[in-house]
Every structure is written in structure tokens, then in C-alpha cells.
A = this chain, B = another copy of it.
Amino acid sequence: MRHSQRTDDQLRPVTIETGVNRYAEGSCLITFGHTKVLVTASVDESIPGWMRGKGQGWVTAEYGMLPRATHTRGRREAAAGKQSGRTQEIQRLIGRSLRAVVDLKALGERQVVLDCDVIQADGGTRTASITGAWVAMASALNYLRDEGVLKSDPILDQVAAVSCGICNGVPVLDLDYEEDSEAEADSNFVLTGAGQIVEVQATGEKRGFSRAEFDRLFSLAEIGCTELFALQKAALAAVKR
């Protein structure tokens, strides 16, 4: 039995609250158990120089963690003067994941910037970020359609992400920090609403693991993402203007 009393294929309680920032075109506060991520989607009508004149837009992401989001205080990256390799790796992943479900031509020459800031961390901050970023982005693009800025919907599909890992030899879904730090293997799956793979990352932490174990992690991720897609839809439907 997991220390949290969850079954192997059970997500932590997930909540998605939209409209949490009065300035952003889209925003949400997403929680996976004790993990809390504030996501804003900002629409920027001026795109970077290298993108201009191509008749298409761009989606990018930035990720940050408040210094005391974690058990012990970490160093503030702005004070350190640079983003860690881990931060850059995560924000690149978030950006790729979201772009995978957006028609950049239909978006037009504008940029959507997704800021994912971790308010409190208990494992799964990157998967919560991706899952929440889709809601914030969809909310922002719906707003642009309501305003008549966009003619069609650039969103091609949903995208969500969840972690899986092997703890005490057992593949389990949605690791919290305690499980994550003990896991023999750790993985993140980013899947589309249609069940396609956007990104898979799996790492043996203490040992290599077998292809059979990997297949089980994959199946758990499919279970988890199916639940997340339903929660995303419900959150988006509840957005008020």
C-alpha cells in the first residue's frame, strides 16, 4: 500500500481553478495533492524578430519555483543570476508539449507565453504545469475568439501530463515527493486527448528497468491522463468572463 493510501493507479486529488489573475488573458491555479502551480497565459501581439512575416505564431513557456515552495528553502534563481539546467529543461518541455496541440498558423502572428510558477511543490510540478498550461492557454484563446481577434480555434486537441514510477518494485501513478525521492524509476508522459504520445521521458534512478515495467508505467499514464482530460474540460467550461 502506498503511504498515501492510494491504489497504484490512483491520482492525488486534482483541482483546477480558473480566472485567478485579473490581468492575464487566461490563468489557472492547478493542484495535484499538495503541489500547487499558478499558470498564466499572456498573449503578446508582438512576436520575436526571427518569427515575423511567416504568417504564424508561437507558444512558449517559462517555469519557476518560489524559494520556499520546497521543504527547505532553495536559492532564488533571479538572485543566483541564472536559471538552473533543470528549470530550462522543464520549460522547454512545457513549451514543446503545448505547441504539439496548437495550429500555429491559425494562431496568427502572435505569441502565447505560459508562465508556470510553483507555489508549493510535492512532486509532479512539471506534469501539473503542462496540464494547467493547457487550461490557461485554451481559456486565453477562447477569449481571443470571443473578442473576434481569432476567427477559428487554433487548438487541435487537449494535452495533459502525469508522472509514473516504480516504488518498492511496484509501478504506481502520480508520485508525490516522498515516493519520487525513493523511486527506482521515474517517468513523465505527455499525451493528447486522442491518445497520441507527445513526449515520454523515463529514467532508471537506482537501477535499470525492464521493457515490461516500462509498458506498465505507460498504461498507468494512460489511465491518469484520461482523468485529467475530463478535469480540464470541466475547468474550461466553468470559465466566466
Chain A residues within 8 Å of B, Cβ to Cβ: 21-24, 27, 34, 38, 40, 42, 44, 62, 64, 66-73, 76-83, 85-89, 91-92, 96, 100, 113, 115, 117, 119-120, 157, 185, 187, 191-192, 194-204, 207-211, 213-214, 218
Contacts and interface: CB of A to CB of B under 8 A. Distances in A.
Contacts of A113: 67, 73
A149 B110 CA distance: 39
B85 A66 contact: no
A120 to B, nearest CB: 6
Nearest to A87: B78
Contacts of A64: 66, 76, 78
A4 to B, nearest CB: 15
Contacts of A209: 196-197
Given A40-B66, A78-B77, A197 B208 contact: yes
A119 B196 CA distance: 35
A85 B61 CA distance: 13
B202 A199 contact: yes
